[in-house]
């Protein structure tokens, strides 16, 4: 069952300006600890002639993009994903769903997903949220994210005790 839906769109240039202005301080506020290495890879200048795979860890082909666009696009996608998650939760980007408590990652096939800090994972479990689905897309100027939260399947109910043979109606209820 769907527990929440959220979407967000971010201008890549806006995150690029924020990164140029605040640098490491922005990264500390926006990225989860596990996202820093991926950011560093996305930020590195890639010589297309030397690179066997110009597609970055986010699934975008940024090989022709200027070096400053790669970190801006990386940050825009993460920010959009985290904002969309906050909207799906109905609390926005507020404790425990703070930006550094949410890691955007990709599985072996490139499908995006989330990894949550322990306090956020506990918050989701308390509310019966079992899965968070993420879709990311970007173009030159914008990044967009869509999140669907799915409630955890309820635990199976204990089977009802069958009435003993020959007892019916109100007699069975008294048993």
Q: What is d(CA 111, CA 59) in angstroms, rounded to the nearest whole number?
A: 9
Q: What is d(CA 135, CA 8) in angstroms, rounded to the nearest whole number?
A: 11
In the block, residue with structure tokens 């200048």: 45
27 — alpha (psi -120 to 50), left (phi > 0) or beta?
A: alpha
Nearest to 78 by CA among 51, 115, 25, 45: 115
User: In the numeric block, which tokens belong to residue 165?
Assistant: 């043979």
Q: How far is CA 6 from the centre of its chain?
A: 11
Does 8 belong to an annotated binding site?
A: yes
Using an 8 Å Cβ cutoff, are 88 and 149 in contact? Answer: yes
Q: What is d(CA 69, CA 157) in angstroms, rounded to the nearest whole number?
A: 53
The size of the chain, in residues, is 175
Does 141 belong to an annotated binding site?
A: no
Q: Annotated binding site for Mg(2+), which residues?
A: 8, 83
Q: Annotated binding site, which residues?
A: 8, 83
């Amino acid at each position: 069952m769907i527990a929440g839906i959220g979407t967000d769109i971010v201008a890549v240039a806006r995150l690029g300006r924020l990164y140029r202005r605040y640098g490491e301080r922005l990264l500390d506020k926006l990225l989860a600890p596990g996202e820093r290495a991926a950011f560093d890879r996305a930020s590195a200048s890639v010589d297309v002639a030397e690179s066997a795979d110009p597609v970055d860890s986010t699934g975008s082909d940024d090989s022709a993009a200027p070096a400053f666009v790669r970190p801006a696009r990386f940050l825009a996608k993460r920010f959009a994903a985290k904002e969309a998650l906050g909207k799906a939760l109905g609390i926005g980007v507020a404790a425990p769903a703070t930006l550094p408590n949410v890691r955007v990652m990709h599985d072996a096939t490139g499908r995006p997903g989330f990894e949550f800090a322990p306090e956020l994972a506990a918050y989701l479990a308390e509310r019966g949220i079992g899965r968070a689905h993420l879709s990311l897309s970007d173009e030159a100027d914008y990044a967009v994210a869509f999140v669907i939260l799915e409630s955890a399947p309820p635990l199976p109910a204990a089977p009802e005790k069958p009435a003993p043979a020959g007892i019916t109606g109100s007699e069975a209820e008294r048993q």
